[in-house]
Structures are given as structure tokens and as C-alpha cells.
């Protein structure tokens, strides 16, 4: 089998390196898995697709897992998806059970990660086979559904919709490509911009700017103050971890992992939603939830299994529909494009070896994450003390490499990084939602092609409603997502204190 | 009768103007959404803008002007000078290497709260070693294009 020739020490070495770097990024508050993938993307230019993907998946899994370290030790989630880990992890650490809390989180994480990899393996090909039958109309409606779901789950729906549409608008800047059936004319720019923007803004400099430089600017504005006001809690001493803490936790593990995977499949819904949902379900349905929030292992189990389950879930829409499940998988789209591969319904069928290697890489990343974190947690915990005055200049430097190398040496891509870094900071300040904006940006050009081709083929707008039962079903899903959003708004208005 | 109603939804796209068809729709949606945001939040808008102005001017709130605008200025200068220097050393990555050493050192210096002699040496070593390592691994080993 050809696949075996790719399973080299280099392949597994890159997964291990990616996982370790990801853990370090995740463990530093303010630095996320998305940032890890964005910053390390240039390293994949030199590797082939399979080795590059191995590194990026390691970074993804490691980045999500590493977020638990500061969540437990300093009460600040390293990544947004570790928010609920602070509820029980920090109280446990305060009473001298920091190492135990982290090891509970590590085991729960590996369970969630492996669970979601299995779902990805069995579910993505089925969804892709189904999506192959889609015409331009259904493909456009899928994008519309994705943007609706993302926007409806934002904290402010109107801003979410606006952000998504703004992302689409930004993606349309440039030439209406002849290869896509366009007329080769430029739009949405002045004549003097044509030299720079003939092909529009490149995806990766935009992503690297928003997720890399923006983070640095947000921290620079705060002056790099120590948000905790105290040092991290020591891991020495305290109660020892034993696996029997998971006795009676199987239902919690499976339920939380299922929630994490499902939330991952929904495009654009972040890991924090997964962990909050899983945590609240455990609180509602467990026999005894009285200790949750005061240092109960079951809280860490639900939080960490759900946020790691997000990894496989978010890859499902990416690999079967070409729609990223979250901000990190949005960057993975860029990595695929870089290697000349288009993700979508045909991806798995046309790249079967790559598909199997991705599953192997995801499984290996989870196992390696467990090995690295379980046995070296005391050393990893020290990472949170690495000063940002050392790290952030290096991050900007790596952002430059990523932006410049993407199109083999275009300086305008580096300026794009700066433009979108500042734009991301402004967006953060005025309440724009980054994830809908990015996903709108990624899907905008495809949405245009599918929309225009549908109209050119049928000449009537009614085709979007009447083309097929699938089209009608997609409209029903769009209506449900909007209705659900409105229901949530009304419920939150009635119970503001509970939600807060 | 039904076909008459359906004919209201007929659309034809002029190929010469097809590049503007979808962007115009998106622009209109954007304008309408912006108007809705302004209408629904106009009470918050003006005080919010005023407060932002006061914060940026340093009259209110906690905003580290030195580090924020210093980051922007240093990053802009880093990109600009790297671009200029890359004409002097084309396709070698030297421009990236030289400017990164300077940039990493200056930005670290900007971010440090209390500078000691020992810390100064650490910053110098970091600024020399990290860009040199990145340049060697990326440009020399992996043959990645650098400015």
C-alpha cells in the first residue's frame, strides 16, 4: 500500500513536534491553537502535503489541549475552549490537587479527541458522498446555511450577520476570475489599487494578521500586565492522580465528547460553546453535581473531553463540504490550497491516501499529546511563565515569513498582514465577530460563483426554493437556525442572570 | 397565472457587467445591515465613539499608548525597511535576517517593564539567535522564500 510509505519517522516526528509546540502555544494565555497553526504554517511549505498536514494537526490537537494548563494553574483559560476547565480545575489546584486536575483533563482530552476522530472517519465520507450530488443551487444554499448558523450563534446576531457579509464583501475584491466563468474585470477597488489587488487579498496573510498580529496588539494595549496578580500554583506535593477517578464517568465522557463533536461540525461555532454546553449538561443531568464549580473532577472531564472532541468534529464539514468548522480549520484550508488541493465533497474520494493519513495523524496526535502531557506536565506547566516580551516579537517575525512565502515572495502580502492585524484590532473594539468574518471571507468567492451560475442556468430566482427536495430541506434548516437564535435571545432576556 | 408570478423572479445577467452583479447585492445587504446597526444602537454609538476618542487621547481608561503605538510604528518600519533592503539583497533572506534582529530587539525592549543588565543580555541574545535560527532553517535548509 502506498500509504505505508508515508508513515515514516519524519511523519510521526512532525506530529510529535507539532503537538509539543501546540501545547506550548495553548499553555500561554492569549495564544491559541489557531495562532499556533497560523504561525507555524510556513514550516509546511518545505514539506509535502502529508507531512505538512501531520504537523498542523499536531499543532491543532496540542493547542486545544495545552489550554487547560493555565486554566488549572492560574485560573485563566489558555484557549477560549478551556473556559469551563477553570471552574473546577483552579479550585482543585488551590487545594493542592493541581497535578491531579491536569491529569484528569489530559485523560478526558485524549478520550474526546479519539472519539471525534472516529466520528470523523465514519461520518465525513458519508456526508461527502451525499454532497457530491449537489448542484450550484444546493452548494450556494449550504454556504448560506453555514453563514446563518454562524451568525445566529454569535453573541449579537445582527453584528454576526454583518461580520459574515463583510467577510464575503472583502473576498470579492479583485478580479472576477475567467477560470470561474467570470469576465475578468476588477471590482470594489480604485484603479490605482489594481496592481496590488488584481487577485484580491490572499487568504493566509489575512488569517495570520487577524489571529497573530491582532493578538499582539490587544496585549500591547494592555501593557502586558499580569492578569492574575499572583504566580502560578506549584504542582509539587498534593493528592496523586489515580485512574479510578473515572469510575462512573463514562456517560459524562461520551455525552461531552458527543456535544463537542457536534458543535465542531456546526460551522464557525467555537470551542467555548462546546465546553460550556457540555459542562451545563453534566450539571443538569449528573446524579450529584453539588460539587461542580468547587473543584469536582467531573467538571474537568466534561470540559476537556468536549473541547478536544471539537478537533475531529470541525474537520467533518471541512473535508466533506469544504466549509471550515472553526477558525483553526479555516487556516487548514489555506494549507491545503498551498499544496494545490481543494477541499470539498470530492476531496476524500480523490485523495484517499491523504484522507487515511489525516485520520492516522489525528489519532497519533491525540496519543502523543497524552504521552507528552501526562509524563511531562510539571515541565510544561513552566511554559506559562515564559515572558511575552520574548515571545511576541518572534511571533510577528514568523507571521512575516508566513505571509511573504505564501505567494513565493510578494511584499504586498506582508502589508496585508499589517492591514488585517489592525483591522482585527478595530473589529475587536467595535464588536465585530471575527469567526463569521473569516468564514464569510473564505466562502465569499464560491458563494458568488454558485449564485451567479445558478441564475445563469435557470434565469429565475425561484430555483433556489424549488430546485430539489434537498434545496427545500436546506431552507428548512436555515429557518430552524434563525428560529433557534431568536428563541435563545428571548430566553436570555428572561434569564439574564443565569446565562451571565 | 402561476407562470406570470414566477416571471417576476426572472433575472438575466449581462456578461459585460457580471463582475458587478453579486458584489452589488452584497454591498446593498451590507449597507442595510449597517443602517440597522446604527438605528438599533444609536444611543450607544455616540457615547461609545466619544469614549474611544478619550481613551486613545489618553484622557480615560487604561490604554498603554507607548506599547500599542510603539508596536504599530516598529512593525510598520520593520516591514518598510525590509522591503527597501530586499532590493539591496534580493532573494537571499538577508533583508529579513538583518531587519528581524533589529526589530526583535527593539520590540522586546519596548515590552520589558524593568530592564536589568542580565535581561538586556538575554534580549540581545534572543534577538541575535532566534532570527538567525529562523533564517538558517527556513531559507537555507527548507529553501523558503524570504524577503
Residues B108 and B122 both lie in one domain: yes
**Interface predicted TM-score (ipTM):** 0.91
> Which of B63, B80, B104 lies at the terminal end of a domain, its last residue?
B63
Among the listed residues A308, A316, A307, the one whose alpha carbon sits nearest the alpha carbon of residue A365: A308
Answer yes or no: is A184 within a domain: no
Residues B121 and B78 both lie in one domain: yes
Residue A359 belongs to domain spanning: 2-135+203-429
Question: What are residue A174's DSSP bridge partners?
Answer: A187
Among A170, A182, A220, which would you mutate to test the B interface (most chain B Cβ atoms within 10 Å of its Cβ)? Answer: A220
Residues B59 and B74 both lie in one domain: no
Q: Is A401 on the interface with B (CB under 8 A)?
A: yes
**Is residue A63 exposed (0-12), middle (13-18) or buried (19+ Cβ within 10 Å)?**
buried
Q: How many helices (H) and strands (E) does chain B have?
A: 5, 0
CA distances (Å), origin B69, targets A420, B49, B74, B83, B140: 16, 19, 8, 21, 34
Q: Quick one: pLDDT at residue A498? A: 40
What whole-number distance in Å separates Cα of residue A309 and Cα of residue B65? 40
Residues B48 and B73 both lie in one domain: no
- Please name the helix (run of DSSP H) or strand (run of DSSP E) that holds residue A400, with its range, or none: helix A388-405
What whole-number distance in Å separates Cα of residue B64 and Cα of residue A221? 5
Residues B42 and B78 both lie in one domain: no
Sequence-separated (6 or more) residues with CB below 8 Å from residue A194: A186
Q: Quick one: pLDDT at residue A396? A: 92
Give the number of C-alpha atoms closer than 13 A to the C-alpha of residue A322, restricted to the C-beta side: 22
What whole-number distance in Å separates Cα of residue A431 and Cα of residue B102? 35
Q: Are A32 and A323 in contact (CB under 8 A)?
A: no
Question: What are residue B10's DSSP bridge partners?
Answer: A460
Residues B48 and B91 both lie in one domain: no
DSSP secondary structure string, A20-66? HHHHHHHHSTT--HHHHHHHHHHHHHSS-HHHHHHHHHHHHHHHHHH
User: Which backbone phi and psi does B130 adopt, to 5 degrees?
Assistant: -65, -50
Residues B32 and B81 both lie in one domain: no
CA distances (Å), origin A265, targets A80, A124, A200: 18, 10, 29
Chain A window 141-170: which residues touch B at a Cβ cutoff of 8 Å? 158-159, 161-162, 165-166, 168-169
Inspect the interface and report whether the beta carbons of A400 and B130 lie closer than 8 Å: no
Answer yes or no: is A29 within a domain: yes
Min Cα distance A437 → chain B (Å) is: 12
Answer yes or no: is A445 within a domain: no
Residue B69 belongs to domain spanning: 65-141
Identify all chain A residues contacting B6, using CB atoms and an 8 Å cutoff: 460, 462
**Number of domains chain B is built from:** 2
Q: Is A45 on the interface with B (CB under 8 A)?
A: yes
Looking up cell 500599542 gives: B68
Answer yes or no: is B107 within a domain: yes
Q: Is A216 on the interface with B (CB under 8 A)?
A: yes
pLDDT per residue, tens digit, chain A (500 aa), is 578 888 899 999 999 999 999 998 888 876 778 888 888 887 787 788 888 889 999 999 999 899 898 888 888 777 778 888 988 998 898 888 888 999 999 999 999 999 999 999 999 999 888 888 888 999 899 889 888 887 777 778 888 899 999 999 999 999 998 887 888 899 988 888 888 898 899 888 898 888 889 989 998 998 876 554 556 666 666 778 888 888 888 999 999 999 999 888 887 666 677 888 888 888 878 878 778 888 889 999 999 999 899 889 989 988 998 888 777 888 888 787 777 778 888 889 888 988 999 999 999 999 999 999 998 888 888 877 788 899 899 989 988 988 888 777 889 999 999 999 999 999 988 888 888 898 889 889 889 999 999 998 888 888 888 888 989 999 999 998 888 878 877 877 776 544 43
Answer yes or no: is A185 within a domain: no
Residues B88 and B24 both lie in one domain: no
What whole-number distance in Å separates Cα of residue A353 and Cα of residue A463? 38
Answer yes or no: is B87 within a domain: yes
Identify all chain B residues contacting A184, using CB atoms and an 8 Å cutoff: 19
What whole-number distance in Å separates Cα of residue A161 and Cα of residue A278? 26
Residues B93 and B136 both lie in one domain: yes
In the predicted structure, residue B1 carries a pLDDT above the cut 60: no
Answer yes or no: is A345 within a domain: yes
Taking CA–CA distances from A450, the nearest residue in chain B reads: B22
Min Cα distance A405 → chain B (Å) is: 5
Residue A315 DSSP SS3: helix
pTM for the model stands at 0.83
User: In this complex, which of B23, B82, B86 lies closest to A172 when CB atoms are compared?
Assistant: B23
Instruction: Give the CA angle between residues A207, A209, A211 to the nearest 5°.
Output: 65
**Number of domains chain A is built from:** 1
Answer yes or no: is B147 within a domain: no
User: In this complex, which of B13, B29, B71 lies closest to A220 when CB atoms are compared?
Assistant: B71
Taking CA–CA distances from A397, the nearest residue in chain B reads: B100
Residues B75 and B116 both lie in one domain: yes
Identify all chain B residues contacting A400, using CB atoms and an 8 Å cutoff: 78-79, 82, 96, 100, 147
> Which of B14, B45, B63 lies at the terminal end of a domain, its last residue?
B63
Sequence-separated (6 or more) residues with CB below 8 Å from residue A78: A26, A27, A28, A29, A31, A32, A66, A67, A68, A69, A70, A71, A384
Q: Is A422 on the interface with B (CB under 8 A)?
A: yes
Residues B69 and B137 both lie in one domain: yes
Answer yes or no: is B146 within a domain: no
Answer yes or no: is A57 within a domain: yes
Residues B3 and B47 both lie in one domain: yes
Amino acid at each position: 500500500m502506498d500509504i505505508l510509505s508515508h508513515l515514516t519517522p519524519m511523519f510521526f516526528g512532525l506530529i510529535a513536534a507539532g503537538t509539543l509546540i501546540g501545547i506550548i502555544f495553548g499553555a500561554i494565555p492569549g495564544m491559541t491553537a489557531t495562532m499556533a497553526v497560523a504561525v507555524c504554517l510556513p514550516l509546511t511549505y518545505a514539506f509535502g502535503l502529508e507531512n505538512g498536514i501531520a504537523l498542523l494537526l499536531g499543532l491543532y490537537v496540542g493547542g486545544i489541549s495545552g489550554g487547560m494548563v493555565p486554566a488549572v494553574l492560574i485560573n485563566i483559560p489558555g484557549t477560549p475552549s478551556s473556559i469551563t476547565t477553570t471552574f473546577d480545575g483552579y479550585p482543585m489546584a488551590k487545594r493542592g490537587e493541581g497535578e491531579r486536575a491536569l491529569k484528569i483533563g489530559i485523560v478526558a482530552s485524549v478520550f474526546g479527541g479519539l472519539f471525534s476522530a472516529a466520528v470523523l472517519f465514519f461520518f465525513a465520507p458519508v456526508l461527502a458522498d451525499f454532497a457530491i450530488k449537489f448542484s450550484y443551487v444546493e452548494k450556494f444554499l449550504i454556504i448560506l446555511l453555514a453563514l446563518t448558523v454562524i451568525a445566529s450563534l454569535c453573541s449579537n446576531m445582527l453584528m454576526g450577520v454583518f461580520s459574515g457579509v463583510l467577510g464575503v464583501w472583502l473576498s470579492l475584491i479583485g478580479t472576477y476570475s475567467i477560470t470561474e466563468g467570470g469576465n475578468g474585470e476588477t471590482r470594489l477597488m480604485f484603479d490605482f489599487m489594481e496592481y496590488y489587488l488584481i487577485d484580491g487579498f490572499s487568504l493566509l496573510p489575512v488569517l495570520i494578521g487577524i489571529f497573530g498580529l491582532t493578538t499582539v496588539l490587544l496585549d500591547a494595549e494592555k501593557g502586558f500586565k499580569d492578569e492574575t496578580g499572583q504566580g502560578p500554583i506549584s504542582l509539587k506535593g498534593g493528592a496523586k492522580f489515580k485512574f479510578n477517578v473515572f469510575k462512573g464517568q463514562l456517560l459524562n465522557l461520551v455525552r461531552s465528547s458527543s456535544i463537542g463533536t457536534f458543535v465542531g461540525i456546526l460551522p464557525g461555532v467555537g470551542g467555548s460553546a462546546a465546553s460550556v454546553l457540555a459542562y451545563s449538561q453534566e450539571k443538569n443531568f449528573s446524579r450529584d453535581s453539588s460539587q461542580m464549580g468547587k473543584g469536582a473532577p467531573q467538571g474537568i472531564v466534561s470540559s476537556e473531553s468536549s473541547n478536544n472532541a471539537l478537533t475531529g468534529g470541525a474537520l467533518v464539514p471541512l473535508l466533506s463540504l469544504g466549509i471550515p468548522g472553526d477558525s483553526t480549520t479555516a487556516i487548514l484550508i489555506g494549507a491545503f490550497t498551498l499544496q494545490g488541493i481543494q477541499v470539498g465533497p470530492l476531496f476524500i474520494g480523490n485523495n484517499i491516501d491523504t484522507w487515511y493519513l489525516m485520520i492516522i495523524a489525528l489519532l497519533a496526535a491525540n496519543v502523543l499529546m497524552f504521552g507528552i502531557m501526562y509524563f511531562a506536565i510539571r515541565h510544561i506547566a513552566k511554559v506559562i511563565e515564559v515572558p511575552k516580551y520574548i515571545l511576541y516579537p518572534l511571533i510577528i517575525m514568523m507571521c512575516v515569513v508566513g505571509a511573504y512565502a505564501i505567494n513565493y515572495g510578494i511584499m504586498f502580502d506582508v502589508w496585508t498582514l499589517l492591514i488585517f492585524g489592525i483591522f482585527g484590532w478595530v473589529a475587536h473594539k467595535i464588536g465585530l465577530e471575527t469567526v463569521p468574518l473569516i468564514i464569510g471571507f473564505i466562502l465569499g468567492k464560491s458563494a458568488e460563483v454558485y449564485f451567479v451560475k445558478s441564475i445563469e442556468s435557470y434565469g429565475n430566482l425561484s430555483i433556489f426554493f424549488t430546485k430539489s427536495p434537498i434545496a427545500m430541506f436546506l431552507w428548512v434548516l436555515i429557518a430552524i437556525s434563525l428560529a433557534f437564535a431568536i428563541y435563545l435571545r428571548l430566553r436570555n432576556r428572561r434569564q439574564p442572570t443565569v446565562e451571565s | 397565472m402561476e407562470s406570470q408570478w414566477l416571471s417576476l423572479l426572472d433575472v438575466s445577467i449581462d456578461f459585460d457587467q457580471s463582475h458587478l452583479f453579486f458584489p452589488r447585492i452584497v454591498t446593498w445587504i451590507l449597507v442595510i445591515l449597517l443602517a440597522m446597526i446604527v438605528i438599533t444602537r444609536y444611543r450607544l454609538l455616540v457615547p461609545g465613539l466619544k469614549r474611544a476618542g478619550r481613551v486613545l487621547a489618553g484622557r480615560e481608561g487604561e490604554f498603554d499608548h507607548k506599547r500599542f503605538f510603539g508596536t504599530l510604528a516598529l512593525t510598520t518600519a520593520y516591514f518598510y525597511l525590509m522591503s527597501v533592503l530586499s532590493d539591496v539583497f534580493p532573494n537571499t533572506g538577508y533583508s529579513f535576517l538583518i531587519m528581524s534582529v533589529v526589530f526583535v530587539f527593539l520590540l522586546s525592549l519596548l515590552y520589558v517593564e524593568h530592564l536589568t543588565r542580565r535581561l538586556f543580555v538575554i534580549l540581545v541574545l534572543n534577538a541575535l539567535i532566534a532570527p538567525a535560527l529562523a533564517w538558517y532553517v527556513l531559507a537555507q535548509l527548507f529553501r523558503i522564500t524570504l524577503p
